[in-house]
Amino acid sequence: MDLADMNQTASPVQPHCAVLSQPDPLQVGGVSLHSRLFLGTARYPAPSVLAEAVQAAQVEVLTVSLRRLAPESQSGQAWWQRIREMGRHLLPNTAGCHSAEEAITVAQMAREIFGTHWIKLEVIGDDYTLQPDPWGTVAAAQTLVREGFAVFAYTTDDLVTALKLRDVGVAAIMPWAAPIGTGAGPRNLPALRTLRERLPDSVLVVDAGIGTPHHAAQVMELGYDAVLVNTAVAEAGDPVAMARAFTLSVQAGRLAHRALPMRTREVAQASTPMVGVPFWHQGS
């Protein structure tokens, strides 16, 4: 049988595309999301730049702060109107709160003003590192969940705190990669990996410390459900292009996780089969 006959009789190779063909929405807070990138709305050079970045990234969730409304001036109302016109899911936050009581009060106000039961819970315990207070966060989360909020709880990569947040019924646990605004990227990948392994059924969203798209891809490859970025996009030289880059990196990381990456090895292994190759050619 010559080569032409072999080509005619051989079975065609069918690519294995099961992962690509399966839908992969994120279910959180009672909604289904296609985008796994959440975008913050602060620090942009102009509201128009924010709007272009949102469009370029095709994000579905925007974080907003009650303090940005600035009720004593008209600028806050204009900003709020622009946010509403974007038509995205809003995730109000309790940024700047230093106690459970303060965070609960701000959350209740945000629900009335923004018209959503979603809340990004932040209770800061240290003003220098902006590290969240684990005791205050868990206490506030417990109260807010009882009051019907879908709580997205900002925390560190501490496993015990995350377990307690899961137990009180938060919608999502949001561990940091590094302190807020540093752009340092994930400083403790083993801890983030442990969180994912120990909380397989919880929604985990990396929040804070992400600086570049490859940081986002790293944590998405671990199996995280989404990434929240703000400063990394808002303070980029071209925020619109950076927003798009983050969307692509989140998609790549998620797809890589679902495709099951190869296991790492301690020694080299030839990628080209050596069977049938004369020994004097091997290694040349």
Give the count of alpha carbons within 13 A of 156, CB side only. Answer: 18
CA distances 88 to 85, 177, 202, 263, 281, Å, are 8, 25, 23, 39, 61
Please report, as a single letter, which amino acid is at residue 154. Answer: Y
> Any idea which residues carry the catalytic annotation?
120
Output the known binding site: 181, 208-209, 230-231
Q: What are the start-end ranges of the E strands in the chain?
A: 26-28, 31-33, 37-40, 61-65, 89-93, 118-121, 150-155, 172-175, 205-207, 226-229
Cβ pair 123, 132 in contact under 8 A: yes
**What is the phi-psi region of residue 226: left when phi exceeds 0, alpha when psi lies from -120 to 50, beta otherwise?**
beta
Which residues, including other chains, have CB under 8 Å from residue 274's CB and lie 6 or more apart? 282
Contact 70, 76 (CB under 8 A): yes
Which amino acid type is present at position 39?
Answer: L
Q: Cα–Cα distance between 67 and 144 in angstroms, integer?
A: 20
Binding-site members for 1-deoxy-D-xylulose 5-phosphate are 181, 208-209, 230-231
